[in-house]
């Protein structure tokens, strides 16, 4: 029993999901809790008959406890080192960390047994995002574990936890570097973790960008919601005849053009700094390949219906405009839109567009964004490669 942990007691039979190792305790499952528990507290979770089942971080809200340990073991002094070292070894053994790739996800929340914690590595920098107060309060232990696991290879550790959780600005825990040029499959990318989206770059599309490269030779390619041009650069590397990138952000424009310049002395690439949907509606160009990779349209269950309509309308426009025989890479990164629902949305868009559509590939996140078999909700990235007649 962990001496610092407070106690939470479940309603009768509400321990079943925990006995199946699901890492969340929902607020409706709690019968009572020890007085004085606040966000971020370490709590022990007991069944209705007073059996200790698991230990985790408490948070007011729908997900009341995110579980770190199952059973009656406490958190030992080497807990964080063991978890981070195991995650790093998994990436090394899979070959993700190599001479051609030094940008990857080191720690992926529930998939690596640490719900509420994200760590991305960019060369010699670790960027941390905490999605719970408990993880934020554990930053010192996480930082020390990173230093120990990586020895002296990390020069910068940057905490980019959302201010809604931390109530403070992002901060350096080691070093002060804000940007770097990293490698992904030997492709160069400028990453600015201080000013960029999420941790600075979208490592979760690595494998899908690689697939695009194999299909891009001599093609006219449109990359919508391009951000810093990950898909655009891979299309050019694959021999695309022309690539148009579209994003409403001026920073995205600067970073996308920088990334094209880092890899090519002369490339047929144009950036349009405007709303991606507006661009798609008005364009008269018939593209051979389109990438439709919008930000999450739904972050909560109550937004699913509205988001579904948004995804349908967006994909309907893409399906109307793609060249006969063309290919669309379409994605949803909304966790609450599961892959069955996403496929139904694409079906509706295809029927409305009156185009014959084949699914060539079904895409997801790469191996450094693992999904726990006990937590299928962790499969947040859904993608389909469509061939449109």
Q: What is the pLDDT of residues 219-278, one digit of tens each?
A: 999 999 999 999 999 999 999 999 999 999 999 999 999 999 999 999 999 999 999 999
314: closest CA among 342, 288, 286, 273? 342
Give me the pLDDT at residue 353, please: 96
211/125 Cα distance (integer angstroms)? 27
Tens-digit pLDDT profile for residues 90-137: 999 999 999 999 999 999 999 999 999 999 999 999 999 999 999 999
Q: CA angle, corner 99, sides to 93 and 100, nearest 5?
A: 100
Whether the pLDDT of residue 301 is over 80: the answer is no
Structure tokens at 98: 């190599």
pLDDT-derived band of residue 2, with 50, 70 and 90 as boundaries?
A: very low
User: How do the domains of the chain map onto residue ranges?
Assistant: 6-70, 79-184, 202-388
Tens-digit pLDDT profile for residues 185-196: 999 999 999 999
Tens-digit pLDDT profile for residues 18-42: 999 999 999 999 999 999 999 999 9
Give me the pLDDT at residue 258, please: 98
> Which percentage of the chain shows pLDDT scores above 70?
99
Give me the pLDDT at residue 12, please: 96
For domain 6-70, give the fold: 2.30.130
Q: What is the domain class of 79-184 according to CATH?
A: alpha beta
Tens-digit pLDDT profile for residues 343-376: 999 999 999 999 999 999 999 999 999 999 999 9
Choice between 230 and 300, residue whose per-residue pLDDT is larger: 230
Provide the whole-model pTM.
Answer: 0.95
Backbone angles phi, psi at 171, to 5 degrees: -145, 155
62: closest CA among 252, 333, 299, 262? 299
What residues are paired with 128 via a beta bridge? 119, 159
Give me the pLDDT at residue 245, please: 98
Whether the pLDDT of residue 1 is over 70: the answer is no
330/327 Cα distance (integer angstroms)? 10
300/87 Cα distance (integer angstroms)? 28
Whether the pLDDT of residue 68 is over 90: the answer is yes
SS (H, E, C) the chain: CCCCCEEEEECCCCCHHHHCCCCEEEHHHEEEECCCCCCCCEEEEECCCCCEEEEEEECCCCEEEEEEEECCCCCCCCHHHHHHHHHHHHHHHCCCCECCECEEEEEEHHHHCCCCEEEEEECCEEEEEECCHHHHHCHHHHHHHHHHHHCCCCCEEEECCCHHHHCCCCEEEECCCCEEEEEECCEEEEEECCCCCCCCCCHHHHHHHHHHHHHCCCCEEEEECCCCCHHHHHHHHCCCCEEEEECCCHHHHHHHHHHHHHHCCCCCEEEECCCHHHHHHHCCCCCCEEEECCCCCCCCHHHHHHHHHHHHHHHHHHHHHCCCCEEEEEEECCCCCCHHHHHHHHHHHHHHHCCCEEEEEEECCCCCCCCCCCCHHHCCCEEEEEEEC
Kindly report the average pLDDT of the chain as a whole number: 95
Whether the pLDDT of residue 4 is over 80: the answer is no
Q: How many residues does the chain have?
A: 389
Backbone angles phi, psi at 124, to 5 degrees: -105, 25
Domain spanning 202-388 has what CATH number?
3.40.50.150
- Output the furthest CA–CA distance in the chain (Å, rounded): 70
pLDDT-derived band of residue 299, with 50, 70 and 90 as boundaries?
A: confident
């Amino acid at each position: 029993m962990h001496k610092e942990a407070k106690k939470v007691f479940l309603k009768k039979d509400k321990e079943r999901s925990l006995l199946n190792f699901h890492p969340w305790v929902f607020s409706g499952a709690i019968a009572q809790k020890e007085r004085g528990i606040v966000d971020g507290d370490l709590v022990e979770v007991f069944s209705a008959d007073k059996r200790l089942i698991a230990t985790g971080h408490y948070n007011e809200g729908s997900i009341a406890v995110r579980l770190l340990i199952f059973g009656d073991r406490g958190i030992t002094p080497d807990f964080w080192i063991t978890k981070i070292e195991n995650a790093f070894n998994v990436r090394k053994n899979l070959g993700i960390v190599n001479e051609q790739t030094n940008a990857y996800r080191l720690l992926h929340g529930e998939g690596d047994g640490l719900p509420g914690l994200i760590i991305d590595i960019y060369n010699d920098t670790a960027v941390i995002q905490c999605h719970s107060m408990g993880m934020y309060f554990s930053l010192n232990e996480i930082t020390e574990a990173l230093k120990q696991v990586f020895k002296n290879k990390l020069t910068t550790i940057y905490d980019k936890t959302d201010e809604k959780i931390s109530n403070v600005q992002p901060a350096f825990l080691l070093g002060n570097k804000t940007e770097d040029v990293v490698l992904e499959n030997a492709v160069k990318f400028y990453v600015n973790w201080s000013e960029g989206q999420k941790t600075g770059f979208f490592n979760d599309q690595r494998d899908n960008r690689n697939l695009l490269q194999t299909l891009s030779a001599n093609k006219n390619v449109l990359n919508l919601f391009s951000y810093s041009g990950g898909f655009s650069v891979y299309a050019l590397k694959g021999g695309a005849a022309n690539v148009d990138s579209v994003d409403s952000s001026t920073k995205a424009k600067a970073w996308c053009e920088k990334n094209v310049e880092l890899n090519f002395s002369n490339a047929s690439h144009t950036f349009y700094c405007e709303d991606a949907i507006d661009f798609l509606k008005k364009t008269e160009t018939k593209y051979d390949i389109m990438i439709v990779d919008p930000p999450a349209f739904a972050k909560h269950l109550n937004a699913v219906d509205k988001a579904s309509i948004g995804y349908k309308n967006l994909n309907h426009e893409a399906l109307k405009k793609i060249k006969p025989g063309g290919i669309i890479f379409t994605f949803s990164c909304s966790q609450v839109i599961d892959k069955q629902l996403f496929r139904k949305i694409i079906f509706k868009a295809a029927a409305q567009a009156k185009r014959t559509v084949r699914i060539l590939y079904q895409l997801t996140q790469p191996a450094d964004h693992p999904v726990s078999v006990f937590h299928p909700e962790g499969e947040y990235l859904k993608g389909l490669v469509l061939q449109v007649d």
